[in-house]
Amino acid sequence: MHTEGKDHAELADIFNKDEKRVDWHDETLWFIRAKRDKAVHQLPEWEDLRNTASQIKHNVLSNLDKYLVEFEAQAQANGITVHWAADAAEHNRIVHQLIKDEGVTQMVKSKSMLTEECGLNEYLAEHGIEVIDSDLGERIVQLAKEPPSHIVLPCIHKKKGEIGDLFHMYLGTPSGLDDPQQLTEAARIHLRDTFLTRKVALTGVNFAIAETGEFVVCTNEGNADMGAHLANVHIACMGIEKIIPQRKHLSVFLRLLTRSATGQPITTYSSHFKKPREGQQMHLVLVDNGRTVQLGREEFRNSLKCIRCGACMNTCPVYRRSGGHSYHTAVAGPIGSILAPNLDMKKYADLPFASTLCGSCSNVCPVKIDIHDQLYKWRQVLVKEGYAPTVKKVGMQVMTTTLNSPTVYRLAGKMGRIVMKYAPFAVNNGLNPWYKNRDMPEPPKESFGEWYKKNRK
């Protein structure tokens, strides 16, 4: 498809040059998918939970305006300062201003895919603010100067030895270290120093409860809590779709989130933030950045139900063999491929095509987003908007003309089989992408139609 610069197929082609690495990447993620299966099969009510979550989110999306206003009022009553950002740029400016107001040039940040989507780290770096990511995986990719390749497992594409090399270079560990325990210990020491010295901490938000004005942050490392509890200023950034109506709904999502993500029953830490402690400031930035546009696209509205568990990535056979970076967007994989074109159709026109529409993503989705159907629908929209390459357009026209006429179809089929039989070099060559790794089918002497005419009439 016509994209600016990067294209999934080209990037995945590069990733596939190292087949052993692809195998390792695939097996690592499949291991997590298998863990997920084991975890969900322990709950006979699993499909009911998915239905319930999907319906709660349906309610939220249908009444988003109401819930957002309710949430804001409750949060303000709790002493939280609420900010609204229409887009990524405004979000970044707000966060930057809050850091400046505190008179510091450093910040510690726990996991937030929203800030990745908004390019916050780059923005702050350009403005002289040092950001240290405190999620271990995020810290690793940050040292490697790469974006996360997976929303829950940001450095799943990196091997232990590569992490050892990065730590050797940046954290002064001995060279050649690849023991996970020793590497984790080194990261712990490094991050502890960060937590103790940062006056501003930023976290993401997993769930925001309209009824009470509180928000919940889920981590396995406790790093969000470490950052937020030690800082003078806690900034939490959330997309406006993170709302759930009432506290009682939370249990449904907490049960679904990590079982889907990693196969754990629940995150190690599910931290509830309701009000700033004495002397602390708590700021909440509510970000639209295209979400209301997607809300208005009826066919794609369901994508806003996403709770960012990453299950669709782990199960996706294409993602597992492409690597997250091939998706060239903050949220990779199947869900990212239906979110990204909403942000920029031209830039991400290739992504809805990076799928076989196998449907596994929709089946693992804890909120039952019809992901593969939306991928199909995006294809139709993108082609109509003119983002199909000319070669493809011409090819499809020729195919249509052929298939619209039984006579032309039969003739073309016959010719095709003759060419394959007597001039196989015309199809078995480097210009035919099929032939690169696969043989062509052997042409039969007659089509079924021809056989039928002789044998049944």
Q: b/e string for 56-87 if b means 16 or more Cβ within 10 A?
A: bbeebbeebeebbebbbebbeeeebebbebee
Q: Pick between residue 110 and residue 258 the one whose CB is nearest to another protein.
A: 258
Give dist(CA 377, CA 354) in Å, integer.
Answer: 13
For residue 108, which of 139, 79, 152 has the smallest C-alpha distance? Answer: 139
d(CA 294, CA 313): 21
The residues pairing with 83 across neighbouring beta strands, listed in sequence order, are: 285
Least distance in angstroms from the C-beta of 41 to another protein? 6
At closest approach, how far in Å is the CB of 22 from another protein?
6
Q: Are strands 130-133 and 214-219 parallel, antiparallel or unpaired?
A: unpaired
Cβ at position 366, least distance to another protein in Å: 11
Say which residues have a Cβ less than 8 Å from residue 303's Cβ, sequence separation at least 6. Answer: 294, 335, 338, 339, 342, 369, 371, 374
Minimum CB distance to another protein smaller for 110 or for 322: 322
Q: How far is the CB of 324 from another protein (least distance, A)?
A: 13
**Residue number with CB closer to another protein (81 or 363):** 363
CA distance 328 to 392: 22
Residue given tokens 């009022």 in the structure block: 73
Q: DSSP states of 161-187 as a string?
A: HHHHHHHHHHH-PPTT---HHHHHHHH
Between CA 374 and CA 368 the distance in angstroms is 12
Closest to another protein by CB, 189 vs 399, is 399
Of the pair 79, 317, the CB lying nearest another protein is at 317
- The pairing of beta strand 214-219 with beta strand 269-273: antiparallel
| b/e map 239-270, b = 16+ CB within 10 Å | bbbbbbbeeebbebbbbbbbbbbbbeeebeeb
CB nearer to another protein: give 19 or 278: 19
Between residues 208 and 361, which has the closer beta carbon with respect to another protein? 361
Report, in Å, the least distance between residue 206 CB and another protein.
23
Q: Work out how close the CB of 267 gets to another protein at its nearest, in angstroms, rounded to a whole number.
A: 21
Closer by beta carbon to another protein, 177 or else 420: 420
Which alpha helices (H) appear in 102-159, and where do they start and end? 113-118, 120-126, 136-143
Q: How far apart are the first and last CA of the chain?
A: 46
- As measured in angstroms, the least distance from the Cβ of 47 to another protein is 5
Shortest Å distance, C-beta 116 to another protein:
24
8 Å CB contact between 334 and 313? yes
Closest approach of another protein to the CB of residue 423, in Å: 17
Q: Cβ(311)–Cβ(260) under 8 Å?
A: yes
Beta strands in 326-431 (DSSP E): none
Strand order in the sheet with 130-133: 81-85, 281-287, 233-239, 200-203, 106-109, 130-133
- By beta-carbon proximity to another protein, the closer residue of 145 and 456 is 456
Of the two residues 11 and 98, which places its CB atom closer to another protein in the complex? 11
Question: 176 or 441: whose CB is closer to another protein?
Answer: 441
DSSP state of 400: H
The CB-of-257 to another protein minimum distance in angstroms stands at 16
Least separation in angstroms between residue 321's CB and another protein is 5
